Each structure stands twice: as C-alpha cells, then as structure tokens.
C-alpha cells in the first residue's frame, strides 16, 4: 500500500500563457494545494524535433512532448505523480480522495488513474455514467448532496480521451515514459490521450478513473485551447459540458447556461428532433434496458 502523502503534483503550463498560470495558481490556493503542486514549463511545439510524418499540429506535439519530458524528469522521483494541465478545476475533496485512492491500494492495480475523463455524446455512454452516478451520489429532498461513494472504474472498454488530470503509479512512470518516447521517436500519428487509450485497450497499460470525477475542465477554456485553437469548437464544448456534469462539484446552472446558448432545445416545429429527444430522455431512465 502507498503512503497517503506519497505523491507529487505538477501543472503543465506554457511560459507565455500567464493568464492560465494565474488561473491555476488561484485554483490551487483556493484549495490549499499550493505547496503540493509545482509548475512544469510546457514544451513549445515539436521541441525535440521528433519525426512528424502525419503532420500533427504544434499544439498536439507540444502537449505530447510536455507530458513525456515531465515523466522523464521524474523517473527517479520515488513518488506517485499527479499531472494536471492548466485548465483544471478541483473539487474540495480532491486531495482527500486522491490520498484515499493511494492509501487504500486502488492505485496499485493501475498504471494510470484519471481524476476525470471526457464523456462523448453517445447515448449508451450517458446511460452508463448516469447509472453509476445515481448509485454513488445521495441527495436530500432539496437536491443537496449528502453522501458520495467514490470508486475507481476500469475504463478499458469505455470510450474516453483525456490528459487533463491523472495519477501515475510510481512503479509505472518508467513504463509510461518509455511508451511515449517510443511513439514520439517513431513519428506518432495520434495525440497523447489517444495513445494512452489505445495502449490501455491493447493491454499495455492498466487505466482507471475516479468516479464521480473530482476534477473537471473550465468550460470557458473550450474556446481557448492551446492545443487546438480552431474557433469552431462547439462540439468540444458539448463534450466538456458532459464531463463536467459528472464532476462532483459541478455547477449545473453554468452547464445549463452554456447548453441554452450553444445547444438550445429543438424548436417544436422540428417534430422529428423533438420526438427523438423524448426517446433519448426515456432511454436514460430506469425503465429502459439495453437488449
């Protein structure tokens, strides 16, 4: 079993992105985590001059390289790592839950444990997470959360992608670093989050996720990605809203405001969309079973 205090935290941040650095430092201070996490200067683009036969963007390669260099720097750290990107929100219980995951031995069964992951807009995925959420979270008559039973889910067969916030088992730092180095040097065709997902599905990495999520991403950063700066990022925002809905301290009113602005309910004259929406809502209820 690990020691409850046996982890080191890092947040990845580009030198020129002083606004995100300030946001992250404010978030850490808000949860009394300043002494727990230190900044790691992100790589600018293809800093290692790795082969790039698939013409990945500078942002994608910079993110990949940053995570790789952070792991390489901590090969001999002798501690579990909590790696976050500079868009992360913490729940007030995040440090306690992370410490519990380590002290209880959950982390021993995994190479990586995410503290939140993306939730794609797929009905069967929503059903899966809503069922788990309803079992884990108890609320009183007013809707206030009164208890939470956190768990670590095995995500091998779940659709996901993320590197916003994850724990790395100290015994797996070298393994993950080696995988990323091999991918970079051969000219990877995918971003780092998809590489981790693929290696998990192949059995090369054991990956879990804390649920309900104890971190999330800032919704206003969905339109200000340093990895993919395209302006038409409403699909990414939709996925970010979905993942934040399962964040244990989610601001559902903020999520609703974003939904009303960018994904308003279909007009009543679009009868087909209206009826399909009703069916999707029904499919999330306890009455519906997959067959």
pLDDT digits (tens, 9 = 90+) for 139-192: 999 989 999 999 999 999 888 889 999 999 999 999 999 999 999 999 999 999
φ and ψ of 193, to 5 deg: -65, -35
Q: Note the pLDDT of residue 232.
A: 61
Instruction: Calculate what percentage of the chain has a pLDDT beyond 90.
Output: 75
Q: Which domains does the chain have, with CATH numbers?
A: 7-283 (3.90.550.10)
Task: Round to whole Å and give the CA distance between 180 and 173.
Answer: 11
Closest CA to 67 of 228, 220, 194, 159: 194
Per-residue pLDDT band at 1 (split at 50, 70, 90): very low
Task: Round to whole Å and give the CA distance between 276 and 185.
Answer: 47
Q: Note the pLDDT of residue 271.
A: 80
pTM (2 d.p.)? 0.91
Please tell me whether residue 34 adopts helix, strand or coil conformation: coil
Task: Round to whole Å and give the CA distance between 164 and 153.
Answer: 17
Whether the Cβ atoms of residue 123 and residue 202 lie closer than 8 Å to each other: no
pLDDT digits (tens, 9 = 90+) for 233-289: 678 888 899 999 999 999 999 999 988 888 777 666 678 888 888 888 888 888 877
pLDDT digits (tens, 9 = 90+) for 30-56: 999 999 999 999 999 999 999 999 999
Per-residue pLDDT band at 224 (split at 50, 70, 90): low
């Amino acid at each position: 079993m690990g020691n409850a205090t046996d982890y080191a935290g890092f947040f990845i941040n580009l030198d020129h992105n002083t606004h995100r650095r300030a946001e992250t430092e404010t978030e850490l201070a808000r949860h009394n985590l300043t002494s727990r996490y230190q900044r790691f200067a992100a790589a600018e683009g293809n800093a290692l001059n790795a082969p790039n036969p698939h013409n990945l963007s500078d942002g994608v390669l910079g993110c990949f390289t940053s995570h790789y260099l952070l792991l390489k720097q901590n090969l001999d750290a002798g501690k579990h790592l909590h790696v976050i990107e500079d868009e992360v929100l913490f729940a007030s219980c995040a440090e306690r839950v992370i410490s519990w995951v380590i002290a209880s031995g959950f982390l021993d069964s995994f190479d990586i444990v995410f503290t939140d992951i993306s939730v794609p807009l797929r009905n069967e995925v929503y059903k899966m997470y809503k069922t788990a959420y309803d079992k884990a979270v108890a609320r009183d008559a007013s809707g206030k959360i009164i208890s939470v039973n956190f768990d670590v889910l095995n995500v091998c067969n779940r659709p996901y992608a993320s590197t916003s916030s994850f724990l790395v088992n100290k015994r797996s730092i070298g393994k993950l670093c080696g995988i990323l180095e091999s991918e970079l040097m051969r000219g990877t065709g995918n971003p780092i989050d998809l590489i981790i997902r693929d290696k998990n599905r192949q059995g090369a990495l054991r990956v879990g996720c804390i649920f309900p999520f104890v971190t999330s991403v800032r919704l206003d950063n969905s339109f200000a990605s340093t990895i993919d700066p395209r302006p038409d990022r409403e699909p990414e925002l939709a996925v970010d809203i979905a993942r934040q809905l399962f964040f244990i301290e989610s601001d559902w009113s903020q999520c609703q405001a974003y939904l009303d602005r960018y994904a308003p309910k279909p007009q009543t004259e679009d009868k087909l969309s209206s009826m399909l929406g009703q069916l999707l809502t029904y499919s999330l209820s306890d009455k519906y079973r997959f067959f």
